[in-house]
Amino acid sequence: MDGTINKRPVYDQEGFEEAERQRKIIEELKTDLHMPKKFFLATMGCQMNARDSEKLKGILHQIGSEEVPEDEADLVIYNTCCVRENAEQKVFGRLGALKSLKRKNPNLKIVLCGCMMQENFVIEKIRKAYPEVDLILGTYNLYRFPSLLQSMLASGENRGDASSKMIIDIWKEQKEIVEDLPSIRKFPFKASVNIMYGCDNFCTYCIVPYVRGRERSRKPQNIIAEIEALAQTGVKEIQLLGQNVNSYGKGLDEPITFAQLLRMVCRVEGIERVRFMTSHPKDLSDELIDVMAEEKKICPQFHLPLQSGSDRLLKAMNRHYTQERYLDIVRKLKAKVPDVSITTDIIVGFPTETREDFLETLKVVREVRYDGAFTFIYSPRVGTPAASMPQVDPQEAKKNFSELLKVLEEIGGENHAAYQDSVVEVLAEEKSKNDASMLSGRSAQGLLVHFTAPEEMIGKICRVSVQETTPYYLIGALESEVDA
C-alpha cells in the first residue's frame, strides 16, 4: 500500500440500510409535535464518548432541537463513563437532582447512554431507584438514537399523559458498524475520527472491553472518505481515535497496519496536522515510529500509557510489556523524533502494589520525563479480575499519588521552561477563558498555549513566541500566521 489509495467508501449492506432507516426517522421527528425542542447533553469520560456526543448532537440539531443549559431543557441526556467508580457516583447524584426538575416539568425527558449503561447492576439500580428515566441505550446501538427517541415519545403518548414507561435497549455486542449519520463537531477546523471500536486487551483493572466489546476496525476507505469530506469543509487537524490504535487493521478483509493508514491520512489534501490516541506499548511497531519521523503532518506527540513501572504489576495488569521494553520504545521514539512530547496514563494503588513497585513507576517517570500525565488512583470495577485481588491501604495509595503528582509537576515545569523565548506553531482554537484579549490553542506537541492575538486568528495555525511558561501551559504572543 503506497498511501495513495482512495477508493469510494464501502458500506456493509446491513449498516447502510440501517443508516437509511434512521435518516428517515430523523425526517419524521422533525415534524413530531412531541419532540423536545431544547436539549442538554452532558458528556463524561474519554474521547470516545466525546465523539459519540458529537453524533448525538448532530442528530438532535438535524431534528431541530436546540442546545440549552440543563435547567431550561426538556430533554436531558447523560453520556456516561464507568472507568472509575466516582464517575458512576456522580451520575447517580445528578439523577437524584433531576427528580426535582422532573417534578417541576413533567414533560422533561431523561435519556442515559454510554459505557455505564452496559453494566447490569447499573440498569437494575436505575430501574428500581430512578423511575423518572425515560430511555436507556448502550454503546453498541447509539446510531439507533432516532428510532429510540421515536419509541420514547410514542410510549408517552399511548398512555395519554406526559409520563412514559422506561425504554431500555442494551445490546451485548455490536451488530453492524453504521457509518454516515449526521454529527456536529465542536470546532470547524479540527475533528476526531474513529478508526476502530472496542478493545481486546483485557487489562485486569479495566472495564472497557466489557462495555465497548471486541475490537473492530473501520475500513480504511471509509475513514479516508470521512477525512476528505472534513478537509473540504475546512478541517485542518485530525485526531484518529481508538482504544488501541496500534492494532488497527486486524480482522479486516484486506490487511493494513496503523502506520499504513497514517500515511494515507497524511496524503489527504487540506489536512495539515494528524494526531492519534491511544497507543498500547505492546503493539507499537518500528514501522510506526518511522512513519512518525518521515511524515511531517504527524504531530510530534505520543500518548503512551505506562500504568505502572513495576514488572510484577505490569504482569498482574496483563499489559504484556516490561519496564525495559517500555523504556526501549521511548528511547527509539526520542532518537527518531527528537522534538516528540510524550504523555501517559498511570495508575497508583493497583492491588498488591508495594512502595518498591511505586518507586519503579517513579523511576520510569524520571527517565521518560513526561510532558503530561493522566493519573488515577486504582478503582475496583465489578467483574474485572483485579477487583478480586488483594487491595492496598488507601492511605498509602493517596500518599504515593501525591508524590507522583509532585514529581510530574516538577518535570512538566522543567520541560516547559525549555520553550522560553522559542517560537511554537499553535492552531488557535478559541478565546482564552480567563483573558478576552488572548486566544488558546495547542502546539504541534499538544501543549496548551495562551497567546495575545486578534480573534480573526481562530482556526489558523499561528507562530507564537513564548514569553512565560508554567508546568501546565505556555504564554506568548502572535508573531505571524503559518498558512499566510
Question: Closest approach of Cβ 204 to ligand 5AD, in Å?
Answer: 9
From the list ligand 5AD, ligand SF4, none, partner contacted by residue 84 (C-beta under 5 to 8 A by kind): ligand 5AD
Which residue is it, cell 442494551?
170
Q: Which range touches ligand 5AD (CB under 6 A), out of 61-69, 90-98, 371-379, 408-416?
A: 371-379
Question: Closest approach of Cβ 109 to ligand SF4, in Å?
Answer: 31
Question: Closest approach of Cβ 351 to ligand SF4, in Å?
Answer: 15
Which residue is it, cell 512565560?
468
Q: Does 392 bind ligand 5AD (CB under 6 A)?
A: no
Residue 428's DSSP bridge partners are 441
Q: Interior CA angle at 242 toward 325 and 235, to 5°?
A: 120
SS3 328: helix
Interacting positions 353-372 with ligand SF4 (CB under 6 A): none
From the list ligand SF4, ligand 5AD, none, partner contacted by residue 92 (C-beta under 5 to 8 A by kind): none
From the list ligand 5AD, ligand SF4, none, partner contacted by residue 78 (C-beta under 5 to 8 A by kind): none
Can you read off the three cell numbers belonging to residue 111?
Answer: 435519556
Residue 381 or 460 with smaller CB distance to ligand 5AD: 381
Amino acid code (one letter) for 188: P
Residue 164 or 279 with smaller CB distance to ligand SF4: 279
Query: 28: closest CA among 110, 149, 167, 109?
Result: 149
Residue 383 or 454 with smaller CB distance to ligand 5AD: 383
From the list ligand SF4, ligand 5AD, none, partner contacted by residue 292 (C-beta under 5 to 8 A by kind): none
Q: Does 397 bind ligand 5AD (CB under 6 A)?
A: no
138: CB partners within 8 A, 6+ apart: 113, 117, 118, 169, 170, 171, 211
Q: Are 315 and 203 in contact (CB under 8 A)?
A: no
Residue 73 or 240 with smaller CB distance to ligand 5AD: 240
Within a 13 Å sphere around the CA of 184, how many CA atoms are in the beta-carbon half? 15
Can you read off the three cell numbers belonging to residue 234?
Answer: 475546512
Q: Are 230 and 238 in contact (CB under 8 A)?
A: yes
Site string for ligand SF4, 205-224 (x = CB under 6 A): -x-xx---------------
Residue 200 or 409 with smaller CB distance to ligand SF4: 200
Residue 121 or 202 with smaller CB distance to ligand SF4: 202
Which residue is it, cell 443508516?
19
Residue by residue, DSSP assigns 145-189 as: HHHHHHHHHHHHHHTTSS--PPEEE--SS---PPP------S-SS
From the list ligand SF4, ligand 5AD, none, partner contacted by residue 376 (C-beta under 5 to 8 A by kind): ligand 5AD
Pairwise CA distance, residues 282 & 480, whole Å: 41
Q: Does 206 bind ligand 5AD (CB under 6 A)?
A: yes
Q: Which of 61, 334, 376, 446 binds ligand 5AD (CB under 6 A)?
A: 376
130: CB partners within 8 A, 6+ apart: 92, 95, 99
First to last CA, the chain: 34
Question: Closest approach of Cβ 428 to ligand SF4, in Å?
Answer: 32
- Interaction site with ligand 5AD (CB under 6 A): 83-84, 205-206, 305, 307, 345, 347, 376, 378-379, 381
**Residues of this chain that bind ligand SF4 (CB under 6 A):** 199, 201-203, 206, 208-209, 243-244, 280
